[in-house]
Amino acid sequence: MTNEIIKNRLTEKFGEHLSGWEEPFGLLTVNVAASMNLKVLQFLFDDEQLRFRFMTDLTGVHFPERKGEELCVVYHLHNMVDGIRLRLKAYVPVEKPDIFTATKLYSTANWMERETYDFFGINFIGHPNLVRILNVDDMDYFPMRKEYEMEDPTRRDKDDEMFGRG
């Protein structure tokens, strides 16, 4: 199994819904239309040649400068038979951050989608229990978005020199 074979199989099936092909450090990476994420994931899982049946990771990234596609869901899939990995990216607007859940295909997606919702506010449509998993339930913002400062600049209870910042 090679990246070229994977790219050809995906292009045959979903050509116009895929873009931005890259291979950073040999890891095949492709952008998928958010409306097609579940169909592409299902194909990758079911196809007897591709066999991407393990989800290594799922997370979010906030790109505030990308108008209309500020939030990105990143899937890392693994074909354990052939020992090859694939990265999929799906972008959604911050105003309507909806994407279909992958929990029916990958049980590992359950907690990862909850964490991504908790920190980025991405709504995984069809998720069986999309509630906060690490932050308090009454939190009314999503702390990993880049619209928030990393630290409270008014804090006086720490010495910056202890943290190599003095």
Do the domain assignments include residue 165? no
Helix spans in the chain (H): 3-14, 37-46, 109-120
Look up the CATH number of the domain holding residue 120: 3.30.460.80
Do the domain assignments include residue 157? no
Sign of CA dihedral 8, 10, 15, 19: negative
Cross-strand pairs, 59: 74
Do the domain assignments include residue 59? yes
- The residue segments making up the domain with residue 61 are 3-150
Do the domain assignments include residue 106? yes
Per-residue pLDDT of the chain (166 residues; tens, 9 = 90+): 999 999 999 999 999 999 999 999 999 999 999 999 999 999 999 999 999 999 999 999 999 999 999 999 999 999 999 999 999 999 999 999 999 999 999 999 999 999 999 999 999 999 999 999 999 999 998 989 998 766 676 766 666 666 666 5
The total number of structural domains in the chain stands at: 1
In angstroms, the CA 135 to CA 118 distance is 7
Do the domain assignments include residue 166? no
Does the pTM of the predicted model rise above 0.85?
yes
